């Protein structure tokens, strides 16, 4: 309850500060941020067959920009009446975050901005069982395990705020466009780690991060 109150207070403070114009010279610390997504583990409580773990590393290069590297692992199972699907693999995203708040407003603690990422996914997928009904009855089959890769581009708007000293929380919405998948047009991946629904060229997602912010320069 205390943390929720602190978060709400921080969000209100952040909201108030966004109306304040920045000063000419504001000492803003440059930070290295190391974080973990907590949306994936929470989602795993709801859906035991999807286990997504990912981490976040960023380096401020000035008061408005940071270089970001994200990486993670997905273990995914999906089953419906006419097929089962298994997938697991690694993914990486590299890019930059752009803080749209002025330095005097952000003061090194608040972020409301846009990220751009290039993503790479390497995964193994398998269809242990599939069936299809038509005029002649039910035909069954399977697809053996095979390894593939996929590339995608991402735009990721988000908000982050300092919960207490050096600890930041926030969420990021991910809007991804698939550039290429090596699965081919007949056996597309039902799910691509780091991207989402592999049968679509556009896939949205969301993350909620808790981040340790370490100042390295003022």
Site residues (vs another protein, CB under 8 A) = 15, 18-19, 78, 80, 82-83, 100, 112, 127, 130-132, 134-141, 143, 157, 159, 173, 175, 186-188, 190-191, 197, 199, 203-206
The CA dihedral of 150, 151, 157, 163, to the nearest 10 degrees, is 60
Give the residues across from 99 on adjacent strands: 113
Q: Which is nearer to another protein, 9 or 140 (CB)?
A: 140
CA 143 to chain centre: 29
Q: Minimum CB separation from another protein for residue 145, in Å?
A: 15
Q: Minimum CB separation from another protein for residue 150, in Å?
A: 15
Q: Minimum CB separation from another protein for residue 69, in Å?
A: 23
Computed over its alpha carbons, how large is the radius of gyration of the chain?
A: 21
Q: Minimum CB separation from another protein for residue 137, in Å?
A: 7
Q: Which is nearer to another protein, 120 or 189 (CB)?
A: 189
Q: Which is nearer to another protein, 27 or 144 (CB)?
A: 144
Q: Which is nearer to another protein, 57 or 153 (CB)?
A: 153
Q: Minimum CB separation from another protein for residue 182, in Å?
A: 15
Q: Are 186 and 135 in contact (CB under 8 A)?
A: no
Q: Minimum CB separation from another protein for residue 204, in Å?
A: 4
Distances (CA, A) of 190 to 32, 66, 185, 198: 35, 33, 12, 5
Q: Which is nearer to another protein, 118 or 129 (CB)?
A: 129
Q: Which is nearer to another protein, 15 or 214 (CB)?
A: 15
- Residue 126 to residue 1: CA distance in whole angstroms: 44
CA atoms within 13 A on the CB side of 16: 5
Contacting residues for 150 by C-beta, under 8 A, at least 6 apart: 120, 121, 123, 178, 179, 180, 181, 182, 183, 189, 192, 195, 198
């Amino acid at each position: 309850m205390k943390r929720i109150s602190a978060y709400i207070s921080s969000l209100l403070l952040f909201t108030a500060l966004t109306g304040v114009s920045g000063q000419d010279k504001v000492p803003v610390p440059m930070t290295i941020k190391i974080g973990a997504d907590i949306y994936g583990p929470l989602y795993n409580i709801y859906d035991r067959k999807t286990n997504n773990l990912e981490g976040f590393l960023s380096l401020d290069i000035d008061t408005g920009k940071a270089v970001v590297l994200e990486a993670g692992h997905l273990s995914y199972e999906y089953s419906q009446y006419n097929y089962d699907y298994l997938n697991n693999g690694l993914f990486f995203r590299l890019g930059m975050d752009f803080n749209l708040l002025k330095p005097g407003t952000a003061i090194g603690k608040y972020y409301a901005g846009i990220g751009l990422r290039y993503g790479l996914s390497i995964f193994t997928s398998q269809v242990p069982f599939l069936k299809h009904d038509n005029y002649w009855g039910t035909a069954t089959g399977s697809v053996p395990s095979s390894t593939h890769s996929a590339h995608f581009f991402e735009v990721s708007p988000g908000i982050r705020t300092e919960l207490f000293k050096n600890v930041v929380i926030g969420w990021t919405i991910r809007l991804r466009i698939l550039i290429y998948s090596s699965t081919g047009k007949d056996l597309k991946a039902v799910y691509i780690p780091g991207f989402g629904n592999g049968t679509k060229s556009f896939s949205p997602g969301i993350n909620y991060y808790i981040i340790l912010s370490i100042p390295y320069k003022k």
